[in-house]
Amino acid sequence: MKIKSILWVAATAASLLGSTYMGQAQTKEKTVMVGGAPMYPSKNIIENAVNSRDHTTLVAAVKAAGLVETLQGPGPFTVLAPTNNAFAKVPKDALDNLMLPKNKAQLTSILTYHVIPGKWSAAQITKAINEGKGTYVAKSVQGGNLTFWLKGKDVYVKDAQGNSAKVTVADVNQSNGVIHVIDAVLMP
The pLDDT value recorded for residue 27 is: 54
pLDDT value of position 28: 78
pLDDT in tens, 118-173: 999 999 999 999 999 999 999 999 999 999 999 999 999 999 999 999 999 999 99
Q: What is the pLDDT of residues 32-53, one digit of tens each?
A: 999 999 999 999 999 999 999 9
Question: What is the average pLDDT value for the chain, to the nearest integer?
Answer: 88
Backbone angles phi, psi at 134, to 5 degrees: 115, -15
Q: pTM for this structure?
A: 0.84
57 beta partners: none
Q: Which of 84, 83, 48, 46 is nearest to 65 (CA)?
A: 46
Cα separation, 130 vs 77, whole angstroms = 22
Q: Is the pLDDT of residue 67 over 70?
A: yes
pLDDT higher than 80, residue 24? no
> In percent, how much of the chain has pLDDT > 70?
86
pLDDT at 81: 98
Alpha helices by DSSP H, 28-159: 45-49, 56-65, 68-72, 84-88, 92-98, 104-112, 122-131
